[in-house]
């Protein structure tokens, strides 16, 4: 009888950190055609047709099994909303540092951890020994936390910030939910397979600023890592993301296509699918020119208390589950609401 190993969140974090520190990132190539597949979901989103769903699911299956990243087009998020959100991102990071630090993440007088302002040279998300050369503003919602539980700039400082960011977050949340049937069919499961797990999903929205630097050196905008999410939906205003191509066995620079998203599967989807879907190694460079780079990743997860049991199509007598049923909260070693 095969026994599924127990899950230790602390050991998992230690393992991921050790692995990332062993990666050689000194040589990075430009992406070639096919390195990052382009998936257009417009036909399926507009028609809802079963054949359209099956077609886009086949593309997503190949992407998640072979590359782990894909460019998402035809997603239906208004370009005006994307542009407005990037403008608010720029305005936030242009504020006086003292004003931003009034919303400092994990400050003692704010009851919710993991939300607010993360300064330059931070060593969090992911946790690393060297500081990341970026600053960010982060909001989080789940089955307990809502928009009012997050920190926000005063209206007199950024009058349009909260309304714009809330609208964007809600739109991307809806997009992520609309993608779930595609993931389900890609895994040879019914369209509604993931529905129960995402009745009240956890998500984080990170509005990041990468200031220009003179040469890359040994520092990163975001240190090499894999995401712990189900999936991540990234908007970026210019290139700066580098991923490890499992197909080519080398690092490649991901292009930035205006008003498209880069989507990647994360560690929890990898575990949920018994390692069938890839959790991709990646990092972010700072812009080495004279202008800042901005990005807005959306980290999407199941309801924090939902137990993720191995997808039935991903295990069997000859391929037993490698991971125990586990919730997102348990996987992160956190208490609900932290």
Compute CA 74 distance to the chain's CA centroid, rounded to the nearest angstrom. 19
Q: Mean pLDDT by 10-residue block, N- to C-terminus, for the chain (338 residues)? A: 59 69 85 91 97 98 94 98 98 97 95 94 62 90 97 97 98 98 98 97 96 69 89 94 90 91 95 96 74 95 97 96 92 55
DSSP 70: E
- How far apart CA 303 and CA 331 sit, in angstroms, is 12
Residue 80 domain-assigned (yes or no): yes
Residue with tokens 């055609």: 33
Residue 311 domain-assigned (yes or no): yes
- How far apart CA 24 and CA 9 sit, in angstroms, is 25
Which domain, by its residues, includes 201? 9-118+130-332
Residues 122-132 pLDDT 10s: 765 555 566 67
**Residue whose C-alpha is closest to residue 152's, from 125, 200, 112:** 112
Residue 184 domain-assigned (yes or no): yes
Predicted local confidence at residue 246, as pLDDT: 87
Which residues does 53 contact at the CB level (< 8 Å), separation at least 6?
A: 44, 181, 182, 185, 191
Residue 220 domain-assigned (yes or no): yes
- How far apart CA 170 and CA 212 sit, in angstroms, is 30
pTM of the model: 0.92
User: 311, 321 in Cβ contact below 8 A?
Assistant: no
* Peptide bond before residue 126 is cis, with ω within 30 degrees of 0: yes
Q: How many residues appear in the chain?
A: 338
**Number of domains the chain contains:** 1
Residue 209 domain-assigned (yes or no): yes
Residue with tokens 């009851």: 111
Residue 287 domain-assigned (yes or no): yes
Predicted local confidence at residue 169, as pLDDT: 98
Torsion sign across C-alpha atoms 210, 213, 215, 218: negative
Residue 324 domain-assigned (yes or no): yes
User: 88, 164 in Cβ contact below 8 A?
Assistant: yes
User: 78, 65 in Cβ contact below 8 A?
Assistant: no
CATH of the domain at 279: 2.60.120.330
Residue 88 domain-assigned (yes or no): yes
**Residue whose C-alpha is closest to residue 136's, from 114, 168, 158:** 114
By three-state DSSP, how is residue 53 classified?
helix
What backbone torsions phi and psi does residue 166 show, to the nearest 5 degrees? -60, -45
Which residues does 263 contact at the CB level (< 8 Å), separation at least 6?
A: 69, 70, 71, 72, 179, 231, 232, 233, 234
- How far apart CA 133 and CA 220 sit, in angstroms, is 6
Predicted local confidence at residue 338, as pLDDT: 33
């Amino acid at each position: 009888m095969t026994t599924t190993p127990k899950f230790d969140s602390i050991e998992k974090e230690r393992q991921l950190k050790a692995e990332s520190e062993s990666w050689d990132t000194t040589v990075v190539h430009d992406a070639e055609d096919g390195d990052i597949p382009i998936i257009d979901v417009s036909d399926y989103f507009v028609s809802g047709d079963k054949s359209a769903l099956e077609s886009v699911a086949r593309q997503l299956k190949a992407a998640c099994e072979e590359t782990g990243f894909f460019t998402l087009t035809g997603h239906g998020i208004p370009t005006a909303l994307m542009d407005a959100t990037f403008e608010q991102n720029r305005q936030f990071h242009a504020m006086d540092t003292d004003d931003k630090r009034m919303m400092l993440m994990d400050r003692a007088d704010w009851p919710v951890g993991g939300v607010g302002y993360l300064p330059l040279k931070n060593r969090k998300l992911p946790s690393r020994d060297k500081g990341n050369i970026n600053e960010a503003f982060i909001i989080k919602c789940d089955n307990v936390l809502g928009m009012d539980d997050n920190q926000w700039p005063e209206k007199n400082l950024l009058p349009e910030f909260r309304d714009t960011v809330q609208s964007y977050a809600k739109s991307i949340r809806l997009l992520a939910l609309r993608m779930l049937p595609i993931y389900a069919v890609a895994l040879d499961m019914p369209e509604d397979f993931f529905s129960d797990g995402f009745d009240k999903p956890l998500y984080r929205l990170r509005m990041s600023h990468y200031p220009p630097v003179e040469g890359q050196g040994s520092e990163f905008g975001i240190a090499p890592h894999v995401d712990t999410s189900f999936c991540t939906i990234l908007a970026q205003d210019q290139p700066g993301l580098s991923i490890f191509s499992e197909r080519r066995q080398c690092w490649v620079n991901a292009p930035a296509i205006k008003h498209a998203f880069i989507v990647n599967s994360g560690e929890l989807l990898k575990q949920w699918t018994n390692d069938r879907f890839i959790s991709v190694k990646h990092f972010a460079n700072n812009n080495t020119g004279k202008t800042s780079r901005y990005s807005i990743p959306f980290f999407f997860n199941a309801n924090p208390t939902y137990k993720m049991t191995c997808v039935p199509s991903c295990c069997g007598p000859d391929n037993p589950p490698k991971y125990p049923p586990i919730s997102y909260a348990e996987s992160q070693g956190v208490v609900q609401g932290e």
